C-alpha cells in the first residue's frame, strides 16, 4: 500500500512534461526511498530515470515495494486537472489495480478525486553503474536549452567538445555551420563566444543575442565569484564531493567544467531537445561525458532528480 502526499502538484506536472514525450508507458517503482521510474525510449537510444525522494512527500508511506504501471499520457491528463499549488495525494492499494489521486486546493475546500487504471508492463530493470566521467560540466539549464534549440535550426547532430578552453557545441548543416563556446566561468558569469558562418538572417539573430547577453550576466556575477573560486580549489580533491557541492550551489549562472580528459562526442539534437523539457524543474544542468559511452544529463530539483542517458552517434564522417 502506498500513500504519498506532495505539497505542490506543479512539480509532478513538470516531471511528467519532462518524460512523457520520451516514453509512453512505464512502471513507477515505489519503495521506502521514494518513487522512481526508469525506462528506455521507444528507439532504445535514450534512457531516462526519475527519482522522487520520500523527503518530497509528507507523509510518505510505502509498506512494500510495488510497481505502478502507468500510461504517462493518461497520467498527464489527470494531473492537468490539478492547479500548480494544489496538494496531491497518491494512493495505491496492494491489489495493484489502480492509482488514486486526490487534489486538494489550499485556499478553497475543493477536493478532486481521480483514479487511473494500472497497466501490467513487462519491463526489465537495467542496472546503471556509477561511472567516473572524463568531464563533468555544470551549467545553467536555460543556457543549455537555448543552445540545443538554436543549433537544431542548422542540423540534426550536435558535437559537444570539452577541453581546457571550455565547452564547445557545434553543428553543421546544409545552410551553414555554427558553434557556441562556453568558457569556464572565472570572473564573469558566462562567456559566450559564438561563431557562425551561416547566411543572412541567422547571422543577425546571433549578433543580437550577443549584445544582450553580457548585460544579463553581469548582474549575477558578484554572487558567483567566491563560490567559483572555491570550486576551483576543490578541483583536485575528491570528485564526488565536488560534484555534490556544485549541485548545492543553487542559483548561479556560471559554467563549471571539471576535466580529466578532453572529450568530443556527437549526439542527436532531437533527443537533447526532448531532454531540455526538464528545464523548468531546475536552474542547473550537469552534463557528464566520456569517450564512447552514453552522455549523462542530470537535472536536480528539490524533490528529486531526473537523469537522461543518451548513446552518442558514431562515425558520422566516414559514413557519408
Partner 1 sequence: MLSNKRVIESPSSSEAEQSSAKENTVKRVKKNSPVKAEKDEKVKEKKIHPMFLPKQQISQDKEDKRLVREEVAATASSKSNASSKTNNFNDTITFAQLADTFTNIESTSKRLEIADHLTQFYKHVILTKPAELLMTVYLSLNRLCPDYEGLELGIGEGLLIKAIVESTGRTTAKVKEDFKKAGDLGTVAQLARKNQPTMFKAKGLNVPSVFKNLKEIATASGNQSQTKKIGIIMKMLTNCDSSTNEAKFLIRLLEGKLRIGLAERTVVVSLAHAIVLSRDEKATKEDLEKGVEVVKQVYSELPSYDMIVPALLDGGINDLQERCHLTPGIPLKPMLAKPTKAVSEVLDRFEGKSFTCEYKYDGERAQIHYHDGKVKVFSRNSEDMSNKYPDLVEQLPRAIKPGVKNFVIDSEAVAFDKQTKNILPFQELTRRKRKDVKVEDITVKVHIFAFDLLYFNDKPLLHEDLTYRRKLLSENFVQVEDEFAMAKSMEAQSTEEIGVFLEESVRDSCEGLMVKLNLGESAWYTPSKRSMNWLKLKKDYLAGAGDSLDLVVIGGYHGKGKRTNVYGAYLLACYDEDSESYQSICKIGTGFSEEMLEQHYKLLNPLEITVPKSYYKLGTAKPDVFFEPQAVWEVLTADLSLSPVYTAASGEISERGISLRFPRFIRVRDDKGAEDATTSDQVADMYRNQASAQQKATKADIDDDAY
Q: Which parts of this chain interact with partner 1 (CB under 8 A)?
A: 40, 42-47, 124-132, 156, 268, 270-271, 290-294, 309-316, 319-320
CB of 31 vs partner 1, minimal distance in Å: 19
> For residue 47, which of 280, 293, 232, 219 has the smallest C-alpha distance?
293
List, in order, residues 6 or more apart from 53 with CB less than 8 Å away: 33, 34, 303, 304
Cβ closer to partner 1: 128 or 251? 128
Q: Evaluate the omega torsion of the peptide bond into residue 312 and state whether it is cis, within 30 degrees of 0.
A: no
**Of residues 125 and 248, the one with the C-beta less far from partner 1:** 125
Of 94 and 316, CB closest to partner 1: 316
- Between 101 and 269, CB nearer to partner 1: 269
**28/271 with CB nearer partner 1:** 271
In angstroms, what is the minimal distance from the CB of 123 to partner 1? 13
Question: Shortest distance, CB of residue 164 to partner 1, whole angstroms?
Answer: 21
Collapsing DSSP to helix, strand or coil, 234 comes out as helix
Question: Residue 63 and residue 3: Cα distance in Å, rounded?
Answer: 9
CA–CA gap between residue 193 and residue 21 (Å, rounded): 32
Closest distance to partner 1 from the beta carbon of 121 (Å): 15
DSSP state of 252: -
CB of 135 to partner 1, least distance (A): 13
Q: How far apart are CA 88 and CA 9, in angstroms?
A: 6
Shortest CB 58 distance to partner 1, Å: 34
- Say how far apart CA 64 and CA 279 lie, in whole Å: 33
Query: Which is closer to partner 1, CB of 119 or CB of 181?
Result: 119
Quote the Cα angle for 271-249-311, to 5°. 20
Contact between 258 and 235 (Cβ < 8 Å): yes
Residue 158 C-alpha cell reads as: 550536435
Amino acid at each position: 500500500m502506498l500513500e504519498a502526499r506532495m505539497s505542490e502538484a506543479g512539480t509532478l506536472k513538470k516531471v511528467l512534461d519532462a518524460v512523457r514525450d520520451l516514453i509512453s508507458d512505464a512502471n513507477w517503482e515505489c519503495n521506502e526511498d521514494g518513487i522512481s521510474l526508469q525506462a528506455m525510449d521507444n528507439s532504445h537510444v535514450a534512457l531516462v530515470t526519475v527519482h522522487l525522494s520520500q523527503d518530497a512527500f509528507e507523509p510518505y508511506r510505502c509498506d512494500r515495494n510495488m510497481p505502478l504501471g502507468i500510461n504517462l499520457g493518461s497520467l498527464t491528463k489527470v494531473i492537468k486537472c490539478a492547479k500548480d499549488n494544489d496538494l496531491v495525494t497518491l494512493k495505491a492499494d496492494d491489489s495493484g489495480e489502480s492509482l488514486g489521486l486526490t487534489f486538494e486546493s489550499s485556499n478553497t475546500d475543493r477536493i478532486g478525486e481521480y483514479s487511473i487504471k494500472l497497466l501490467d508492463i513487462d519491463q526489465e530493470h537495467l542496472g546503471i553503474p556509477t561511472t567516473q566521467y572524463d568531464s563533468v560540466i555544470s551549467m545553467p539549464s536555460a543556457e543549455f536549452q537555448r543552445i540545443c534549440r538554436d543549433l537544431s535550426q542548422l542540423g540534426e547532430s550536435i558535437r559537444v567538445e570539452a577541453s581546457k578552453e571550455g565547452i564547445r557545441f557545434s553543428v553543421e548543416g546544409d545552410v551553414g555551420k555554427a558553434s557556441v563556446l562556453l568558457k569556464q566561468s572565472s570572473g564573469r558569469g558566462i562567456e559566450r563566444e559564438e561563431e557562425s558562418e551561416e547566411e543572412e538572417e541567422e547571422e543577425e539573430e546571433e549578433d543580437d543575442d550577443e549584445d544582450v547577453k553580457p548585460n544579463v550576466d553581469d548582474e549575477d556575477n558578484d554572487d558567483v565569484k567566491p563560490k567559483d573560486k572555491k570550486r576551483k580549489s576543490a578541483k583536485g580533491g575528491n570528485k564526488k564531493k565536488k560534484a555534490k557541492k556544485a549541485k548545492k550551489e543553487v542559483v548561479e549562472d556560471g559554467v563549471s567544467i571539471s576535466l580529466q580528459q578532453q572529450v568530443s562526442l556527437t549526439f542527436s539534437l532531437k533527443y537533447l531537445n526532448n531532454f531540455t523539457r526538464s528545464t523548468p524543474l531546475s536552474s542547473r544542468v550537469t552534463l557528464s561525458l566520456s569517450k564512447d559511452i552514453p552522455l549523462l544529463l542530470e537535472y536536480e530539483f528539490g524533490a528529486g532528480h531526473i537523469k537522461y542517458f543518451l548513446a552518442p552517434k558514431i562515425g558520422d564522417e566516414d559514413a557519408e
